[in-house]
Amino acid sequence: MAGMRTTLGVVAGGAALAAAAWALREVPAELGLRPLTSGPERASRIRRSPQFVNGAFANPMPDSTPPAGPQGLALLGEFARGRRQRRPHGWIPLRVPPSDPPPADGLRAVWYGHATTLVEIEGRRVLFDPVWSDRVSPTPLLGPKRHHEMPLDIGELPPIDAIVISHDHYDHLDMATVRSLTNSQKAPFVVPLGVGAHLERWGVPTYRIIELDWDEEAQVAGLRFVATAARHFSGRTSVRSNDTLWGSWVVAGATKRVFYAGDSGYFDGYKGIGAKHGPFDLTLMPIGAYGPGWPDIHMTPEEAVAAHLDLGGRLLLPVHWATFTLSLHPWAEPVERLWRESKARDAAIVIPRPGEGVDTASVPPVEDWWQITS
């Protein structure tokens, strides 16, 4: 009997190791490709970039990055405690996304969760930072896990005209999602300088990759896409960082304009972006994952409202909250603070449930739906 138990234990252990090895097989690909080694044309563009300084991309304004060493370990300890307040206490209500054609002359947005948002502008569809995976990590075994399902399967997406990426962090650039969209859609990927190297490694054809430095622009499906500044950083491994650019995006049609901030700390450059490219009918502003350990690279909800007003935004739709736990603040705190600040500064906001369509021509009043899950 003891021998049988030993045999079963060995078999079980071997199966577990095999399962772990299978789950880890994609990690090297997940890390992407170093842009400077991906070809002379891209390497030359990177070295010519005003943002590329001393061998890496850098913010023009002073910044701090998430702490490492003892301080970083202390933060990991904080993550291990008080986890209950950093997740919803009930089911997050989902909505079935609208399936009718996009308004030919209008503007509609569907927030799917975290930063993933579909914007329908003047009859075209633009998908921002698509992430359909359950975890934002180089492996499905570890990393932040989503608090709610996506409102629709990735194969149920309507035809997309452009797929826009803000930077290469796992919660904004997901290899499995990119591969799926490469096979199921025909849209080009519009990305910051250097990010195209990752896409090429994952099988995206070169002709479907449009890489832009800050202040460069491209025309796609009759829309104008402009890469604009952000205050952040990049990297898919702690050993190698800032070898791809990060950014925000302007998407402009004939009459409608949208601004997507990506990930960014607050900086006074938003006023210049607004003066040059605004005003904006809709801004997609990150409100979550802020913390005292990284004050310069993620905005607080109050700073998101300030940036929205600097940009000349007419309607603010908050993103980068609710779906993944990426900081120490309580789950619903970002949206509560946003709601209070918007009232204090008379800023128009909309807080949709994941999957809910928002037509900027008929904005619904804010409902505190998150209260039932807090």
pLDDT tens-place string over residues 89-101: 899 999 999 999 9
CB contact at 8 A, 284 and 319: yes
Tell me which residue of 232, 220, 292 sits closest to 266, measured CA to CA. Answer: 232
CB contact at 8 A, 162 and 187: yes
What is d(CA 106, CA 137) in angstroms, rounded to the nearest whole number? 36
What is d(CA 41, CA 345) in angstroms, rounded to the nearest whole number? 47
In the prediction, which pLDDT does 5 show?
53
The yes-or-no verdict on residue 31 having pLDDT over 50 is yes
Cβ–Cβ contacts within 10 Å for residue 291, how many? 17
In the prediction, which pLDDT does 114 show?
98
In the prediction, which pLDDT does 19 show?
45
* pLDDT tens-digit series, residues 231-274: 999 999 888 889 999 999 999 999 999 999 999 999 999 999 99
Four-residue CA torsion sign, 170, 175, 176, 179: positive
Tell me which residue of 74, 69, 64 sits closest to 295, measured CA to CA. Answer: 64
Cβ–Cβ contacts within 10 Å for residue 144, how many? 18
Helices 269-277 and 301-310: crossing angle, nearest 10°? 40
* pLDDT tens-digit series, residues 154-186: 999 999 999 999 999 999 999 999 999 999 999
What is d(CA 365, CA 25) in angstroms, rounded to the nearest whole number? 47
Tell me which residue of 187, 177, 170 sits closest to 155, measured CA to CA. Answer: 177
pLDDT tier at 11 (50, 70, 90 boundaries)?
Answer: very low
Angle at 175 between CA 170 and CA 178, to 5 degrees: 115
Beta bridge partners of residue 126, listed in sequence order = 119, 162
Tell me the two tokens of residue 239. 């050993």
Tell me the two tokens of residue 228. 């604009």
Tell me which residue of 211, 225, 220 sits closest to 48, measured CA to CA. Answer: 211
What is d(CA 250, CA 260) in angstroms, rounded to the nearest whole number? 7
E strand or H helix that includes residue 32: none
Instruction: Locate all alpha helices (DSSP H) within 107-232, ordered by sequence.
Output: 175-184, 196-201
Our measurement of the distance from residue 332's CA atom to the centroid of its chain's CA atoms, rounded to an integer in Å, reads: 19
The yes-or-no verdict on residue 22 having pLDDT over 80 is no
Cβ–Cβ contacts within 10 Å for residue 362, how many? 8
Average pLDDT, the chain: 91
Beta bridge partners of residue 107, listed in sequence order = 121
**pTM listed for this prediction:** 0.92
Average pLDDT for 75-79: 56
